[in-house]
Amino acid sequence: MKTKQQYFYNALLLTAVSLLMRTVSVAFNVYVSSKVGAEAMGLLSLVSGVYGFSVTLATSGIHLATVRTVAERLKLTEGRENKKCLLACLSYATFFGAIAGVLLFLLARPIGVYVLKDTRTVKALTLLAFTLLPIAISTVFNGYFNAVRRAYKNAIAQITEQAIKITFTGYLLVLVAPKTVEGSILAILLGGATAETLTLLLNLILYLADKRHFKHIKQQKIGIKINVASVALPVAISAYMRSGLLTIEHILIPRGLQSYGSGNSAALAAYGSLQGMALPVILYPAAILASFSALLIPEVTEQHATGNTKEIRYIAGRAYQTSLLFSIGTAAVMLFLSSELGEVLYGSTEVARFIKLLAPLIPIMYIDTATDSLLKGLGEQVYSMNVNIIDAFISVILVWFLVPLIGINGYLVTIYVTEIFNAALSISRLLKVSGYRPKLSLLVLRPLCSAIGATVFANLILGCLPLAVASAITLIWHILLVSLLYIALLILTGTLPKKDLRWLVDTLLPQKGAPVFKQH
């Protein structure tokens, strides 16, 4: 029987790796921005908007389809149809990955010249076209490893990919690429393309090694038809619409900033500071929750398949408790230390301002991620994508009107409106289909009071100490101080009672055969 230990050790492993990768990524992002400047980061974000839609077309909902298909058949057949499921998913991914790659290659120049209106993006888009097929196929393996609870294989792939990307990109930036905005972007993208291709080969090797876990089980040749498209296409169609709208949004932002009065370079710089610098810092701590959220999908899928609504409600409660306690504390740290973060990481007061303005939105962003995973596990992926489409449509409208009127602040308003809208609809849907009823005083009010108290006490303590603020070491000590005070206040206020601490210990060191998320 699957144990709690298996789920949480997988989640902890992915969390540790994800956090490491996010740390390396942010550090590398800081390095790259110092090398290429805010304008290049803005242009890179502009290219990424188009590339994001291309990746959406290439994957076409295959990750969720792989997780759900393999997890469901694994529960019912004990692995006898794993190979059949995987081959069906790989065929689907190859078809859409190849189509996306060919289309981006053929349309790179028209998009760069007539849509993005910057010829420096043409070579970048052409290069990115070759990464789409490897990404699509790797997505299948990623979903498969999640479904069969082999998280460490995804961890190996992530670490390897990041190491290759950083090494190769750093080499190109320093020794090969011309010192121009276009040359810098090509160096960054070529490093990523190389990493994607080599990671695909590694994923194939890891899968072949994984087959030994099921070699004692005779593979099923006759059985229920594996219809991957029935799961993937509804998600894919919605994803196309949302990704297309997001691409339009990212194209409109620099244009709106120019209409506001900024020149092309200044518009790209402002866009790069927010999109390419501040937002990665805001989303960095989410790595700690992202792995737990991703692994919720197969867990909830299995409980939903057996009609275990009581367990589903319990999983939802634990997911919300973890997400809100963590995200409210994270928001307090970001808000309290925004100036130090902007100064130490980027030497930029503008980035610091963006971090401070976005910090209060962190709990909504993080809880929305957990909610989406729970909804997908319950088979509500189409609803989630429809909400995301409406969200993206509202974003485009707001960016169209607000950015030319109030500049980059218009984009900040857009982020707030759409994030709150999306989270409100997703949470209401989850409460309806799961029957879960959250206790707001325990999940929101007490953590909020604890976070405010932690920052007040930290400010008093730090005010008495002659510490420099513009150094990485001092910043780390400040973060640790606020975090420790927050945890202490959570315990003192009863927000994190002894039974929950005992639950965590039992989760990490459970009795053999204890079920996942067993209630106490």
Q: What is the tens place of the pLDDT at every residue in 425-444?
A: 999 999 888 888 888 878 88
Higher pLDDT, 470 or 170: 170
Contact 178, 243 (CB under 8 A): no
Report the C-alpha gap between 358 and 416 in whole angstroms.
Answer: 8
The pair of structure tokens assigned to 159 is 């670490």
Residue 443 lies in a domain: no
DSSP, res 3: -
Residue 242 lies in a domain: yes
Report the C-alpha gap between 143 and 303 in whole angstroms.
Answer: 18
Contact 278, 47 (CB under 8 A): no
Helices (H) and strands (E) in the chain, counts: 21, 0
Residue 482 lies in a domain: no
Whether residue 244 is predicted with pLDDT greater than 80 in this model: the reply is: yes
Report the C-alpha gap between 325 and 121 in whole angstroms.
Answer: 42
Encode 110-179 in three state secondary structure.
HHHHHHCCCHHHHHHHHHHHCCHHHHHHHHHHHHHHHHCCCHHHHHHHHHHHHHHHHHHHHHHHHHHCCC
Task: For residue 368, give the nearest of 427, 415, 436 by alpha carbon.
Answer: 427
Where does the pLDDT of residue 247 fall: very low under 50, low under 70, confident under 90, or very high at 90 and above? confident
Q: Of the segments 183-187, 283-287, 361-365, which one has the largest average pLDDT value?
A: 361-365
Helix (H, G, I), strand (E, B) or coil at 347: coil
Residue 468 lies in a domain: no
pTM for the structure as a whole: 0.73
The pair of structure tokens assigned to 453 is 């108290």
Residue 431 lies in a domain: yes
Q: Which of 116-125, 396-405, 470-479 has the lowest mean pLDDT?
A: 470-479
Higher pLDDT, 59 or 177: 59
Residue 518 lies in a domain: no
How many Cα atoms are found within 13 Å in the side-chain-facing hemisphere of 296? 29
% of the chain surpassing 70 pLDDT = 82
* Residues 416-425, mean pLDDT to the nearest whole number: 95
Helical pair 264-271 and 4-59, crossing angle rounded to 10 deg: 160
Residue 444 lies in a domain: no
Its domain, for residue 90, covers 4-217+227-438
Q: Give the total number of structural domains in the chain.
A: 1
DSSP, res 149: T
For residue 176, what pLDDT is reported?
Answer: 63
Helix (H, G, I), strand (E, B) or coil at 76: helix
For 25, 65, 143, 321, the CA distances from 153, given in Å and listed in that order, are: 20, 19, 11, 28
Report the C-alpha gap between 418 and 392 in whole angstroms.
Answer: 8
Amino acid at 217: I
Residue 411 lies in a domain: yes
The model's pLDDT over 381-392, given as tens digits with 9 standing for 90+, comes to: 778 878 888 998
